[in-house]
Amino acid sequence: MKPSAAAGPAARRDLRVDTMRGLACLLLVAYHTIGDDPARGLHAAGGALRWLADSFAYLRMPLFTFLSGYVYAMRPARRGDLAPFLRGKARRLLLPLVCVGLIHHFVQAATTGANAHPDGDWLFLLYPYEHYWYLQALFLIFLFMYAVEAAGLGARLPALWALAAGSLLLAPWVQVAGDPFSVENAAFLLPYFLLGVLLRRSPLLADPARLPRGFAAAAGLAVLAFAAWQQAGMAGWPVPPLSPDRLPGQIYSALCVALLYALAWSWRPLARVGGHSYAIYLYHVFGTAGSRIALGRLGVQHTGVLFAAGMLAGVLLPVALERVLDRWPATRACLLGKAWRGPGGAP
């Protein structure tokens, strides 16, 4: 998923970045197919599916956010361009938040078998709502980044490193009653966005092939150590608690992202999924929940079948929707967050 799109035609897309986007998409679709807790989705309280959903909590959203920061660094905000910058981010993030969020809200309320039945109060859009909280959080991060660029700190790598370290330390302490507009989530994700910006802007780190020898091996060993810690805790062993929103867990997430970046893995099938990452982010729950409800009404109860169907529908339905919605200027803008295109493709 990338709420901020890369520039240039498809031929110029970065295969490595799209591969990581594709991986993040599959992890997110799997998470919502299974359910974020045993009361939702497939009601998996244990077993392999619950293990899968819980094990990648340290990678899913940090990876999405890292990639958004990495892509942002290619076309950053510039001092004096606040109005066009805000218009672009509002169209990309806030317009789909309102339009797609409202559609999801009322479909969920009207559907028998949905996990929740919210009321009709539109004020839910001002607070974290389902997975759309990420759009709110990312918009706040972009506002912060404009302030950073306007202050002249964006071009100063030591200042950016200091901001990244400070945000990592301060994130657990950002607590606001009700979490309006996902400000707490924005603070939680900001270090990973800054990490993406830093890797892109640092001459010695911008190309994975130029990373210091042994970097990937060292990161891999560190990830294995944290993974062992995580799995021990999940198994009920008496180990210190590990949480994604506390410093050790944040370091684990950053190491996972850095390892993927250093590996520079590319795989075209996964990159093709990543090329539709924003549409998948916006619409995957219609496929995951829709397939589960439809198959349930047909009497299908096998968890493996429901999981496979949810994964397929969670990826393929958004891709199909994107191809249809991309045809008209209004649906492009409101339902995909893309630029309004008039006759002849003119913006």
**139-181, pLDDT tens digit by residue?**
999 999 999 999 999 989 999 999 999 999 999 999 999 899 9
Long-range own/partner contacts, residues 319-323 (CB < 8 A, 24 or more apart)? 319/276, 319/279, 319/280, 321/279, 321/283, 322/276, 322/279, 322/283
Tell me what pLDDT residue 5 has. Answer: 40
Which tens digit of pLDDT belongs to each residue from 294-333? 999 999 999 999 999 999 999 999 999 999 999 999 999 9
- pTM, 2 dp: 0.92
Which tens digit of pLDDT belongs to each residue from 52-65? 999 999 999 999 99
Tokens of 92: 């990309």
- Give the separation between CA 346 and CA 339, rounded to whole angstroms: 10
